[in-house]
Amino acid sequence: MKAAETRILELRAELDQHNYRYHVLDEPSIPDVEYDRLFHELKALEAENPHLVTPDSPTQRVGSAVLTAFSKVKHEVPMLSLGNAFEEAALYEFNQRVVQTISPLPNDLFSGVNVEYTCEPKLDGLAVSLLYVDGRLTRGATRGNGTVGEDITENVRTVRNIPLRLMDGGWPSVLEVRGEVFIEKAGFERVNAHQIEIGEKVFANPRNAAAGSMRQLDSKISGRRSLKFCSYGIGQVQRDFADTYYGMLQKLKKWGVPISNKLRLVSDVEGCIAYCRDMSEQRLDLPYEIDGVVFKVNNIASQRELGFRAREPRWAIAYKFPAMEELTELLDVEFQVGRTGAVTPVARLKPVKVAGVTVANATLHNMDEVARLGLMIGDTVIIRRAGDVIPQVVQVVQERRPTHARAVEIPQTCPVCGSQVERTQLIKRSKGKETISEGAVYRCVGRLACGAQLKQAIIHYVSRRAMDIEGLGDKTIEQLVDEKLIGSPADLYKLKYEQIIDLEGFAEISSKKLLKAIDDSKQPTLARFIYALGIPDVGEETAKVLARSLGSLDRVIVALPEVLTYLPDVGLEVAHEIHSFFEDEHNQNVIGALLGECQMELQDTGDLGAEFAASATLGGMLDKLNIPSVGPGAAQKLADKFGTLEAVVKADWLDMRQTLPEKQAQAVRAFFDVAEHAQRALAIEQQLKDFGMHWQSEKKVVEGLPLAGQTWVLTGSLELMSRDVAKEKLEGLGAKVSGSVSAKTHTVVAGPGAGSKLTKANELGLKVLDEEAFVGFLKQQGVEVG
């Protein structure tokens, strides 16, 4: 076996092992970065050796081509559902039926018989079947109607904790694993936040999100949705491998299949009742949603004896928890103003108890969501709680709409400050064209003149990860703003002892402490300061990137959006947000006051980040301009040929035609014929130059060196410097240093004892320098010697 193949197999085994420890045992043994390193090594090796890629490699979870439809799958063993119990009494009745069947004793003797049960959470997701043939995942299917489901193999492969091949050994050659694909609460929040961001509809609940993701024809989308799998049974098997359900799940776990870490074995129905109570207490704290718990007779021989009734096993039952959904009335929709001015609709509801908690408010996300729900004030709505997050309105009950129902309208002016409310715009740029569409978010244009935004801005400014000013709680900030003691973050630094001590909850010591905390915050790092400014879409990470890449606030302030897009993870939209934040006069005044009167001193490097400096290539920039029909390849050709943007803009037609095919050459011409395009491009180039950057073009750099294109040979012994040093110096001047003499050799440096190479050089009539002449030459070139 070749080295690459051996390493690939090694890496796969190691990654599988780490996946198992992480997903099944919940005991990761290496840090994430190490996992990523191994993963990337495998990816790189597979990219170099595509014939060695196999479908069960850990790299093959990315999703594949988009399908037009799912094919059908017949379940050899039907996929059943469960009978439900809603009260504890129903569990005792279930137990009674089980006992009567498996130990047919006279009635009065039943009371002493105990049946062992397994207890598991009832996950709220999508039931799936995974078929392993010879230990390899060969098919994934939905339950469908229980007899026929859909083939979702490509999608299940993207679920990270589903093993692509089984571990250990001893598994039956055919093994159908069954279980639930679900999404955790945090993943659900993320998916919905993303849906909102891309203007798509939100999922009403985690079950819909999981099911929707699994039934995606584009498996790349499923792959992005942080789904998980948990097994609770098997379908067809080539041979039995356990006597008990508990034992069976332990075997599955050993083979790398995830099972619930809440699985318990109890000795009787009382144990089930205790489990119910315990889980219903834990319910809200679990990282995933459960709609109940499931009890199963542990002994498999007993399960067989009990059999089925219609489509439900007689050996299992689901105890359902109270629903997290309820019906109530939408009394009104109010609008809240956030830190960045976003005006968000909030539902005021007729208070209703949902799983033990009274709910009176629900989030409506944005006006697109209101429109999607078709919501009107007065409607009866279904609301839903999920974990600790604010309840959501899931659906309108159309049939119950009253005649007096009113439309929800976005206010024209800000409910807090009365400024104009404007709809945000989405800017997309493609093929040289900017398209502006309407965003889902409305914003109050009042910025810090708006009390709501000011309060939020200051709460953010003083927060721990921003300026970290201790002792300034939300209530105090509200009071300071309401009493007009502060109108911007800069005013914090002007607060006087007499003003603070008058605030609610402040005394002598706390007032002095606060003044000191404010004073101590005057030397923040540039990254903290940028984050503290609260620029829309600029979180801590982006703030760090801005600080590291641009090195000074002055550069951040003037940076053009296109220049900002050179920064890692900064897209055009964020770049525009940053740019327009600093163009705003009010923001400029606040920053001016902070750095001026307030004597804030930012800790910055003043230098451009090396990564940023290296990322600016002329080819990349030409590509960024989105000239129609000019892709990265053509952009690079232009860069190689012309070297500067100015030269591209001014290029004559002949030169352009020599560089690109006619159609592309024309497109470049037409693009720069528009004065605005040319000016904009030149302004970007100028700004990069002002920032101290120069185009990185390897070819240009080498061409510019005096010995570029020449081959030199060193022979004999050198006394004033070692061979290595001589070689280094020549290469520094752009020469290539070779070990053999040929007609292509430019110059030979010959020290004492030179033999055949010198003879050959003389024969060929090449230029030969002795060491003294060589040193003289180097000095002439400005190279220091000795």
Kindly state whether residue 313 participates in binding ligand IVH, applying the rule CB under 6 A.
yes
> Residue 236 carries which side chain, given as an amino acid letter?
Q
> Residue 273 carries which side chain, given as an amino acid letter?
I
Number of Cβ atoms within 10 Å of the Cβ of 721: 17
Query: At closest approach, how far in Å is the CB of 615 from ligand IVH?
Result: 48
Kindly state whether residue 275 participates in binding ligand IVH, applying the rule CB under 6 A.
no
Query: At closest approach, how far in Å is the CB of 173 from ligand IVH?
Result: 23
Kindly state whether residue 232 participates in binding ligand IVH, applying the rule CB under 6 A.
yes
Dist. CA 57–CA 19, nearest whole Å = 12
Known catalytic membership, residue 122:
yes
> Is 624 annotated for ligand binding?
no
Whichever of 79 and 500 has its CB closer to ligand IVH, that residue is 79
Owner of token pair 């009745």: 93
Stretch of residues binding ligand IVH (CB under 6 A), selected from 8-16, 116-124, 221-229, 588-596: 116-124
Kindly state whether residue 208 participates in binding ligand IVH, applying the rule CB under 6 A.
no
Select the residue interacting with ligand IVH from 12, 18, 23, 122 (CB under 6 A). 122
Phi-psi region of 276 (alpha: psi -120 to 50; beta: other; left: phi over 0): alpha
Kindly state whether residue 316 participates in binding ligand IVH, applying the rule CB under 6 A.
yes
Dist. CA 22–CA 465, nearest whole Å = 30
Binding mask of the shown chain, residues 11 to 40, with x at each position contacting ligand IVH by CB under 6 A: ------------------------------
Burial letters for 372-399: b for 16+ Cβ neighbours within 10 Å, e otherwise? ebebbbbbbbbbbbbbeeebbbbbbeee
> Is 81 annotated for ligand binding?
yes
Kindly state whether residue 421 participates in binding ligand IVH, applying the rule CB under 6 A.
no
Select the residue interacting with ligand IVH from 15, 42, 73, 127 (CB under 6 A). 127
Of 455-474, binders to ligand IVH (CB under 6 A) are none
Dist. CA 116–CA 268, nearest whole Å = 5
List 2, 72, 122, 663, catalytic entry: 122
Binding residues for ligand IVH, rule CB under 6 A, total: 15
> Is 32 annotated for ligand binding?
yes
Query: At closest approach, how far in Å is the CB of 24 from ligand IVH?
Result: 16
Dist. CA 542–CA 494, nearest whole Å = 29
Dist. CA 615–CA 743, nearest whole Å = 39
Phi-psi region of 391 (alpha: psi -120 to 50; beta: other; left: phi over 0): beta
Whichever of 57 and 231 has its CB closer to ligand IVH, that residue is 231
Whichever of 80 and 90 has its CB closer to ligand IVH, that residue is 80
Stretch of residues binding ligand IVH (CB under 6 A), selected from 19-27, 202-210, 313-321, 592-600: 313-321
Whichever of 318 and 376 has its CB closer to ligand IVH, that residue is 318
> Residue 313 carries which side chain, given as an amino acid letter?
P
Kindly state whether residue 81 participates in binding ligand IVH, applying the rule CB under 6 A.
yes
**Secondary structure in 3-state letters for 469-514:** CCCCCHHHHHHHHHCCCCCCHHHHCCCCHHHHHCCCCCCHHHHHHH
Number of Cβ atoms within 10 Å of the Cβ of 232: 23
Of 290-309, binders to ligand IVH (CB under 6 A) are 294
Query: At closest approach, how far in Å is the CB of 224 from ligand IVH?
Result: 23
> Residue 98 carries which side chain, given as an amino acid letter?
V
> Is 120 annotated for ligand binding?
yes
> Is 640 annotated for ligand binding?
no
Kindly state whether residue 148 participates in binding ligand IVH, applying the rule CB under 6 A.
no
Cβ-closest residue to ligand IVH? 127
Of 696-715, binders to ligand IVH (CB under 6 A) are none
Kindly state whether residue 326 participates in binding ligand IVH, applying the rule CB under 6 A.
no
Query: At closest approach, how far in Å is the CB of 110 from ligand IVH?
Result: 25
Whichever of 291 and 468 has its CB closer to ligand IVH, that residue is 291
Specify whether the CB–CB gap between 646 and 634 falls below 8 A. no
Whichever of 161 and 552 has its CB closer to ligand IVH, that residue is 161
> Is 29 annotated for ligand binding?
no
Whichever of 95 and 745 has its CB closer to ligand IVH, that residue is 95
Dist. CA 641–CA 653, nearest whole Å = 13
Q: To which H or E segment does residue 440 belong?
A: strand 433-444
Kindly state whether residue 210 participates in binding ligand IVH, applying the rule CB under 6 A.
no
For 183, 225, 283, 662, 673, the CA distances from 123, given in Å and listed in that order, are 10, 17, 11, 61, 62
> Is 7 annotated for ligand binding?
no
Specify whether the CB–CB gap between 314 and 322 falls below 8 A. no
Whichever of 149 and 561 has its CB closer to ligand IVH, that residue is 149
Query: At closest approach, how far in Å is the CB of 366 from ligand IVH?
Result: 33
Select the residue interacting with ligand IVH from 150, 180, 326, 623 (CB under 6 A). 180
Whichever of 294 and 454 has its CB closer to ligand IVH, that residue is 294
Q: To which H or E segment does residue 425 belong?
A: strand 421-430
> Is 414 annotated for ligand binding?
yes
Dist. CA 107–CA 111, nearest whole Å = 8
Specify whether the CB–CB gap between 199 and 258 falls below 8 A. no
Specify whether the CB–CB gap between 360 and 308 falls below 8 A. no
Residue 763's Cβ-side half-sphere holds a number of Cα atoms within 13 Å equal to 9
Kindly state whether residue 130 participates in binding ligand IVH, applying the rule CB under 6 A.
no
The length of the chain in residues reads 786
> Is 230 annotated for ligand binding?
no
Of 563-602, binders to ligand IVH (CB under 6 A) are none
Kindly state whether residue 82 participates in binding ligand IVH, applying the rule CB under 6 A.
yes
> Which residues are CB-contacts of 229 (< 8 A; sequence separation ≥ 6)?
128, 130, 156, 159, 161, 162, 179, 180, 181, 182, 258
Kindly state whether residue 85 participates in binding ligand IVH, applying the rule CB under 6 A.
no
For 194, 619, 655, the CA distances from 652, given in Å and listed in that order, are 47, 19, 6
Whichever of 81 and 615 has its CB closer to ligand IVH, that residue is 81
Kindly state whether residue 644 participates in binding ligand IVH, applying the rule CB under 6 A.
no
For binding to ligand IVH (CB under 6 A), which residues are involved? 80-82, 120, 122-123, 127, 143, 180, 232-233, 294, 313, 316, 318
- Enumerate the known binding-site residues for NAD(+): 32-36, 81-82, 120, 143, 180, 296, 320
- Enumerate the known binding-site residues: 32-36, 81-82, 120, 143, 180, 296, 320, 414, 417, 450
Residues acting as catalytic residues:
122
